[in-house]
Chains A and B, each alone.
Chain A
Amino acid sequence: MSSRRSSRITDEEISELISKLQSLLPESRRRSMSRASAAKLLKETCSYIKSLHREVDDLSDRLSDLMSSMDSGSPQADIIRSILRS
């Protein structure tokens, strides 16, 4: 993607980038955003990123839990090995 090196960023460029962010929001968050201002979209984006960070934390928790009940001879370990080999 080419990026202009000029110091003057156009409003159009900004609004294009903001609508791209809008398109990345999941369906559930996008519903109220159809006529949202840039500020509202940014706010929703921040909230979405925070929730994604929380999901990573939560999934790390649960994976750690699951792995504690695994040992190297278990079928689950074989699953991981086979995914790695494929």
Chain B
Amino acid sequence: MESKSYTTGSRDNANRNLEGSKTLMASHFLRALFRIQQTSTTRSSFAGRRRRIRRAAYASMAYSAGTRRAWSRALLRKLRSRARLRFPRRLSRAARPQRGDTDQAQVLRKLVPGGPGMDYCKLLEETADYIRCLTTQVRLMQTVMDSISS
């Protein structure tokens, strides 16, 4: 039997998922940027365009993870309701402390989309995935910037 160089295991599956979602993220974000470029006129404000770009960033993150993750589902809901995309600094009413929560877990709940609804264990899992996605998005934006400004 031919020996393959693939390894099995959930970590590798996670990596494969990440590769696929990176492409999805990039294409979604670039399309959005292009649309913003086409539709923003000299009259439209800098702040408006900045807001649209920022929104596109979080949208491409959410679409790349799809409905697989609680944080992306929460983010998608926020985007569809056209609510303002903010990570509140003060503890909102929805973010009630859960059992076993430390102060830091409370802070984390405010930072990760969908945080308030998760138990501690799920919060830690979702945070890891959210961070991976965020760093990918940031790198994507840096790459786009570098290629545009060159």
Chain A residues packing against B (C-beta within 8 Å): 1-3, 9, 13-14, 17-18, 20-21, 24, 39, 42-43, 45-46, 48-50, 52-53, 55-57, 59-68, 70, 72, 76-77, 79-81, 83-84
Contact = CB atoms under 8 A, between A and B. Distances in A.
Contacts of A57: 54
Nearest to B135: A52
B86 to A, nearest CB: 10
A77 B37 contact: yes
Given A1-B14, A14-B121, A53-B87, A45 B131 contact: yes
B148 A66 contact: yes
A46 B111 contact: yes
Interface string B33-53: 110111010000010011101
Interface of B: 10, 13-14, 26-27, 30-31, 33-34, 36-38, 40, 46, 49-51, 53-54, 57-58, 87, 102-105, 107-108, 111-112, 119-121, 124-125, 127-128, 130-132, 134-135, 137-138, 141-142, 144-145, 147-149
A79 B131 contact: no
Given A42-B104, A70-B148, 8 more contacts: A1-B10, A42-B108, A46-B111, A52-B138, A53-B87, A59-B57, A66-B145, A67-B33
Contact of B46 (A24, A64, A77): A64
Contact of B30 (A43, A70, A83): A83
Contact of B33 (A1, A43, A65, A80): A80
A84 to B, nearest CB: 5
B144 A63 contact: yes
A71 to B, nearest CB: 9
B107 A46 contact: yes
